[in-house]
């Protein structure tokens, strides 16, 4: 009986490892999508820039506050490994382009305290906001119908969605998106 129980346990562990391995491989090797997004009025009646968010001090904020700047808005969570992996790229992008009219804004699908701790740990200097009102509708409004994280969206100076990318960004892809949509 003990041998049979050990064998069943081994099968369960092997199956669980196979499942987790498959999910990890699909995250890193699966096809990430970068698609043009329909005009924001077609995506929702309420533009993405008018949805309420919260800053890390509890104040209500809106993306429209950055009108006049090109925005790279990144939806992420502290518990999302690929999200955590791309944070240094987003920080270096903000460092490089903020004086050229591009702002990076992280919108966390998380609670305030974990986001603050993560910000302090990684020394994130770009703006971090919290999605507290139906966060997955924000993804849908920005062209992400599957609800996957990380997700990035480029908004022009008027708040119109220019492009949307679900999955981890690479430096080459991010540079191409910036060059194509912000520095034509």
Instruction: Determine the pLDDT at residue 151.
Output: 96
Residues in the chain, overall count = 184
Read off the DSSP letter of residue 32: -
Q: Are residues 63 and 75 in the same domain?
A: yes
Q: Order the strands of the 60-61 sheet from edge to edge.
A: 33-36, 161-166, 151-155, 70-76, 102-108, 127-130, 53-55, 60-61
**Rounded to whole angstroms, what are the CA distances from 170 to 12, 72, 141?**
35, 14, 23
Q: Tell me how far apart the alpha carbons of residues 138 and 118 are, in angstroms, rounded to a whole number.
A: 22
- Identify whether residues 106 and 137 lie together within a single domain: yes
10 and 55 belong to one structural domain: no
Which CATH number goes with the domain that contains 54? 3.40.30.10
Q: 127 and 80, same structural domain?
A: yes
pLDDT at 43: 38
Tell me which residue range forms the domain holding 116.
Answer: 34-182
Closest CA relative to residue 107, chosen from 24, 48, 179, 171: 48
Whether 107 and 74 have beta carbons less than 8 Å apart is answered as yes
- Residues 65 and 16 occupy one common structural domain: no
Q: What is the pTM of this model?
A: 0.75
| End-to-end CA gap in the chain | 70
State the 10-residue block means of pLDDT for the chain, 184 residues long: 45 38 41 41 62 94 95 96 96 96 96 96 97 81 86 94 94 96 87
């Amino acid at each position: 009986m003990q041998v049979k129980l050990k064998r069943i346990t081994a099968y369960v562990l092997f199956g669980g490892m196979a499942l987790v391995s498959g999910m990890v491989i699909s995250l890193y090797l699966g096809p990430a999508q970068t698609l043009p997004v329909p005009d924001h009025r077609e995506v929702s009646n309420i533009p993405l820039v008018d949805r309420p968010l919260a800053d890390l001090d509890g104040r209500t904020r809106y993306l429209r506050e950055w009108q006049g700047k090109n925005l790279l808005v990144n939806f992420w969570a502290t518990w999302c490994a690929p999200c955590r992996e791309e944070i240094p790229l987003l920080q270096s992008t903000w460092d490089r382009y903020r004086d050229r009219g591009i702002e990076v804004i992280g919108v966390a699908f998380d609670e305030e305290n974990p986001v603050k701790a993560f910000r302090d740990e990684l020394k994130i200097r770009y703006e971090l906001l919290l999605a507290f009102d139906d966060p997955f509708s924000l993804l849908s409004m920005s062209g992400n119908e599957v609800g996957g994280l990380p997700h990035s969206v480029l908004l022009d100076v008027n708040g119109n969605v220019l492009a949307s990318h679900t999955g981890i960004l690479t430096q080459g892809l991010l540079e191409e998106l910036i060059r194509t949509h912000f520095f034509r």
